[in-house]
Amino acid sequence: MESGPDDFELNGELHPGSPGFPDASLPPRGWRSRTINVNHYANKKSAAESMLDIALLMANASQLKAVIDQSPSFTFFVPLIVLISISLVLQIGVGVLLIFLVKYDLNNPAKHAKLDFLNNLATGLVFIIVVVNIFITAFGVQKPVVHLAPQL
């Protein structure tokens, strides 16, 4: 079966009756028949982001404990305390921001500008948290070494 010149447009669009044209009576392949609730999707995304924020918060608290267990004589003691504290404060701020993001209804067009700003702010803060945590890793949080006397 050959395609005539009228079956296809230059931009690739198909005409009714041409090979490969979807039947209008069938739902499109790969799509659900119901519409996606954008608000529900955004809430799930924010909840997942909050869980990741909590995991990083716990990791930073553990790093802070490890640095404090070392003594102030550790070379990077003060920079690590400062960086971990900055990361913890920013993570708490992002967590609060995500709570506000979940409370707003995305289906309300009047809230779109505010939600867009808050979402961009959260993304920027998460980027800063990642950069701060890269520096924390670079300085290296080490567990204190316990010196054992040789056994005789």
- Residue 33's pLDDT is 57
- More confident of the two residues 118 and 140: 118
CA dist 49 to 28, 42, 75, 78, 97, Å?
32, 10, 34, 30, 11
In this structure, are residues 54 and 91 in contact, taking their beta carbons and an 8 Å threshold? no
Distance CA 87, CA 138 (A): 14
List, for residues 18-46, the tens digit of each pLDDT value.
Answer: 555 555 555 555 555 567 676 677 777 77
- Residue 148's pLDDT is 61
pTM reported for the whole predicted model: 0.63
* Residue 126 CB contacts under 8 Å (≥ 6 apart), including other chains: 49, 94
pLDDT band at 8 (very low <50, low <70, confident <90, very high): very low
Q: Which class for 116: exposed (0-12), middle (13-18), buried (19 or more C-beta within 10 A)?
A: exposed
Highest-scoring range by mean pLDDT, 22-26, 39-43, 47-51, 81-85: 81-85
